[in-house]
Amino acid sequence: MRLSVIGCGYLGAVHAAAMASIGHEVVGIDVDERKVASLSKGEAPFFEPGLQEILTEGIASGRLSFTTDMSAAQGAKVHFIGVGTPQQPGGYAADLTYVHAAVDGLLPYLSEGDIVAGKSTVPVGTAESLAPRVSDRGATLVWNPEFLREGWAVQDTIDPDRLVAGVPSTDGGPTEEGARTAGVLREVYHPSIAKGTPFIVTDYATAELVKVSANAFLATKISFINAMAEIAEVTGADVTTLADAIGHDARIGRRFLGAGIGFGGGCLPKDIRAFSARAEELGRGESVAFLREIDAINLRRRDRAVDLTVQALGGSVFEKKVTVLGAAFKPHSDDIRDSPALDVAVRLHGLGADVTLTDPAAIENARRIHPQLTYVEDRDEALRDADAVIVVTEWDEYRRDLDPAHAAALTAGHIVVDGRNCLDAAAWRAAGWTYYGMGRP
C-alpha cells in the first residue's frame, strides 16, 4: 500500500522504515531539511538499534523515500501523523502546534477515501476536534496510538503487543465508515495481525486514552517502587529484594519495578503532566491527582542520588572528581530529553564537583545542551583518578562489563553510587568499593 508519514522523529522515522520493511511503499515527510537529507542517504539521524539496517534496505528497494515536500503525500492511501506533542512552555498541557500544522499542511493533498491516521500522543478529545477538517476533504481520521519503546522501537513497530484503532463511532460501535477504515488499517498491519497481535477497534476517545493511561500506569509503577525505596531507606530494607518478591505475584509482575533515579525521556514525564492538565480541563482533575504525586516521587529520586553522592564524599563534592556513567535517559538510546542521568550530572557540577561524563551513545547530544561538563568517550579514561563513580544509565558497558577490580585500579577513591541498582553490590564491595544503592542498605 502507498503510505505517507508526516514527522520523521523517533516515532515517524521508525514507523516509515518499518512500514517499508513489511512491504509498503512509504514516503516520510518532515520540515527539517537536515533530518530529511540524512534519512534520504539511509543514515539514521539518531541512535536506535536496527533502524540503520531497515533504512538502508528500504531505500535500496526503492520503497522508502524522504522529502520536505508535503505534496509527496498525494496518492498515498493512509497518511500517518507522527509529529511531536511536547510540554507547553510554562504549563503542563501538551503543545499541539505540530499536530495542527501537519494536518493543515496535508489537507490540500488528500483525496476522497484517504485515511489520516494520528499516531502522536494527544490529549483526549483531539481527534474529535480534528475530524471535521479531514472529512471536509472526503477523507477519514483514525487515531492509531503508538506504544514503541525507544531502544526497541523497530521491534515494537513491526511486532507490537497490540494495535489500537480509534475510528468514527456512534454509541453502538463503529460507523460504516469507521468499519471500512479499520479494515484498511488491518491491511496495513496485516503481517503482525496474522501473527496474532490483538487489533482493538474502538472510538476516538478510548484510543487516545489507551495511550495516555498506559504511560500513566507505567510511570505509576516506577514511582510506586521508588516510594518503597524511600521507605526502605529509613528502615534498612532492600527495595530490590522487595521488588523481586512482590514481582513473583503474577498480578504485580517484576517488570518496571526497577527502583533508581526514576523515569525520564520524551514521553512519560510530559505525558503524565499533559494528562493531569487535560483532566483539569474536563473538570476531573481529582481523578488523576495522584499523577502529581507520581511526578514528585520521581523527581525526589534525583535529589536522593545527588545527596547520596555528597554524603559519600564526606558532606561536599566541591572540587571532587566525580565520574558519571551514563547520560541517556535509558540504555540503547541517545535520547537525553528530560534525562534523570544528565540532570544528576548537571546538579553535581552545580555543587562544585569536577564532573566527567561518559556514555556509549549520548555524548554528542549531552554536550550540545550542557557544554560545561567534561565529556570523555572512553569509559576507562573517564574513570581515571575519580574520587567517586555514579552509575545513572544502566548500559551493559557499566552494568555487566565493568569489572569492579579493574575499575578500582583506575580510580583514586572507591566510592560507587548505583543510581540504577544495576550493579552486583557484593562483587563491588568485595573489590574494595563502598557501595551505595537506591533504597538498599
Among 48, 150, 208, 343, binds ligand UGA (CB under 6 A): 150
Q: Which residues pair with 417 in a beta bridge?
A: 390, 436
Burial 278-287 (b: 16+ CB within 10 A, else e): bbbeeeeeee
- Counts of helices then strands in the chain (DSSP H, E): 18, 16
Cα–Cα distance measured from residue 202 to residue 57, given in angstroms and rounded to the nearest whole number:
34
Residue 224 contacts ligand UGA per CB under 6 A: no
Among 3, 51, 83, 267, binds ligand UGA (CB under 6 A): 267
Which residues are CB-contacts of 172 (< 8 A; sequence separation ≥ 6)? none
CB of residue 148 vs ligand UGA: minimum separation in angstroms?
5
Residue 290 contacts ligand UGA per CB under 6 A: no
Burial 335-352 (b: 16+ CB within 10 A, else e): bbbbbbbbbbbbbbbeee
Among 164, 218, 362, 390, binds ligand UGA (CB under 6 A): 218
For residue 326, how far is the Cα from the chain centroid?
16
Which residues are CB-contacts of 113 (< 8 A; sequence separation ≥ 6)? 77, 138, 139, 140
Segment contacting ligand UGA (CB under 6 A): 70-78, 199-207, 256-264, 376-384?
256-264
State which residue, 79 or 330, has the beta carbon closest to ligand UGA.
Answer: 330
Burial 19-50 (b: 16+ CB within 10 A, else e): bbbbebbbbbbbbeeebbebbeebebbbbbbb
Cell numbers for 121 = 500522543
State which residue, 121 or 126, has the beta carbon closest to ligand UGA.
Answer: 121
Cell numbers for 288 = 488523576
CB of residue 262 vs ligand UGA: minimum separation in angstroms?
5
Among 24, 270, 320, 330, binds ligand UGA (CB under 6 A): 330
Among 142, 148, 184, 279, binds ligand UGA (CB under 6 A): 148
Residue 174 contacts ligand UGA per CB under 6 A: no
Query: With CB under 6 A, what is the number of residues at the site for ligand UGA?
Result: 22
CA torsion, ordered 156, 160, 162, 167, to nearest 10 deg: 80
State which residue, 47 or 263, has the beta carbon closest to ligand UGA.
Answer: 263
Cell numbers for 138 = 472526503
Among 215, 220, 365, 421, binds ligand UGA (CB under 6 A): 215
Residue 149 contacts ligand UGA per CB under 6 A: yes
CB of residue 329 vs ligand UGA: minimum separation in angstroms?
4
Using CA atoms, how far residue 315 sits from 64, 342, 345, 391, in Å, is 56, 22, 17, 19
Residue 254 contacts ligand UGA per CB under 6 A: no
State which residue, 332 or 349, has the beta carbon closest to ligand UGA.
Answer: 332
Residue 263 contacts ligand UGA per CB under 6 A: yes
CA angle (206 as vertex; 210, 91 as ends), nearest 5: 65
Among 40, 137, 147, 351, binds ligand UGA (CB under 6 A): 147
CB of residue 115 vs ligand UGA: minimum separation in angstroms?
22
Given a contact cutoff of 8 angstroms between Cβ atoms, the answer to whether 70 and 105 are in contact is yes
Active site residue 267: yes
Residue 365 contacts ligand UGA per CB under 6 A: no
Cell numbers for 269 = 514525564
State which residue, 267 or 348, has the beta carbon closest to ligand UGA.
Answer: 267
Segment contacting ligand UGA (CB under 6 A): 20-28, 56-64, 267-275, 407-415?
267-275
Sign, CA dihedral 353-356-362-367, equals: positive
Given a contact cutoff of 8 angstroms between Cβ atoms, the answer to whether 366 and 342 are in contact is yes
CB of residue 33 vs ligand UGA: minimum separation in angstroms?
25
Host H or E run for residue 5: strand 2-6
SS3 of 48, please?
coil
Q: Which of 18, 106, 131, 267 is catalytic?
A: 267
CB of residue 63 vs ligand UGA: minimum separation in angstroms?
25
Cα–Cα distance measured from residue 207 to residue 223, given in angstroms and rounded to the nearest whole number:
25
CB of residue 301 vs ligand UGA: minimum separation in angstroms?
8
Residue 222 contacts ligand UGA per CB under 6 A: yes
State which residue, 50 or 258, has the beta carbon closest to ligand UGA.
Answer: 258
CB of residue 386 vs ligand UGA: minimum separation in angstroms?
23
Cell numbers for 347 = 546538579
Among 42, 118, 260, 404, binds ligand UGA (CB under 6 A): 260
Cell numbers for 14 = 521508525
Applying CB under 6 A, which residues contact ligand UGA? 121, 146-150, 215, 218, 222, 256-258, 260, 262-265, 267-268, 271, 329-330
The catalytic residue positions are 267
